[in-house]
Amino acid sequence: MNRTQLIQTIRQKRSYLCVGLDTDPQLLPVSFARTAEGVLQFNKAIIDATRSTCVAYKINTAFYESLGAHGWTVMEKTVGYIGDEHFIIADAKRGDIGNTSYQYATAFFSQMNVDAITVSPYMGEDSIKPFLTFPDKWTIVLGLTSNSGAGDFELLNCDGAPLYEHVLRKVSSWGNPSNLMFVVGATQADSFTRIRSICPDHFFLVPGVGAQGGSLGEISQKAMNKDVGFLVNASRAILYASSEADFAEAAAKVAEKYQAEMSTYL
> How distant is the alpha carbon of residue 160 from its chain centre?
30
DSSP annotation string for 166-233: HHHHHHHTTS-TTTEEEEE-GGGGGGHHHHHHHSSS-EEEE--BSTT-B-HHHHHHHH-BTTB-EEEE
* CA nearest to 140, candidates 109, 178, 180: 180
Query: Between 208 and 143, where is the model more confident?
Result: 143
pLDDT confidence of residue 212 = 61
237 has a pLDDT exceeding 90:
yes
The CATH number assigned to the domain holding 247 equals 3.20.20.70
State residue 151's pLDDT score.
87
* pLDDT, position 211: 58
Kind plus residue range of the DSSP H or E element containing 57: strand 56-60
Q: Could you give the number of structural domains in the chain? A: 1
Residues 206, 85: Cα–Cα separation, whole Å: 21
Contact between 216 and 207 under an 8 Å Cβ cutoff? The reply is no
Range of the domain at 45: 3-265
Distance from C-alpha of 174 to C-alpha of 127, rounded to nearest angstrom = 11
pLDDT at 187 over 90: no
What's the pLDDT score for residue 215? 85
Mean pLDDT of the residues in the chain: 95
What Å distances lie between residue 64 and 21, 101, 102, 153, 213, CA to CA?
10, 20, 21, 28, 26
Predicted confidence band at 210 (pLDDT cuts at 50, 70, 90)? Answer: low
265 φ, ψ to 5°?
-95, -10
Please classify residue 242 by burial: count the beta carbons closer than 10 Å to its beta carbon, then call 0-12 exposed, 13-18 middle and 19+ buried. Answer: middle
CB atoms < 10 A from the CB of 70, how many?
14
The whole-number average pLDDT for the span 94-100 is 94
Rounded CA-CA distance 148/143 in Å is 14
Helix (H, G, I), strand (E, B) or coil at 68: coil
The residues that are catalytic are 93
SS3 246: coil
Q: How far apart, in whole angstroms, are the C-alpha atoms of residue 266 and residue 14?
A: 7
Per-residue pLDDT of 164-178, as tens digits, reads 999 999 999 999 999
pLDDT surpassing 80 at residue 189: no
Tens digits of residue pLDDT in 55-71: 999 999 999 999 999 99
CA within 13 Å, CB half, 257: 13
Picking from 16, 1, 38, the residue whose alpha carbon sits closest to that of residue 227 is 16
Residue 154 has pLDDT above 70, yes or no: yes
Given a cut of 70, whether residue 254 has pLDDT beyond it is yes
Cβ atoms of 219 and 232 closer than 8 Å? yes
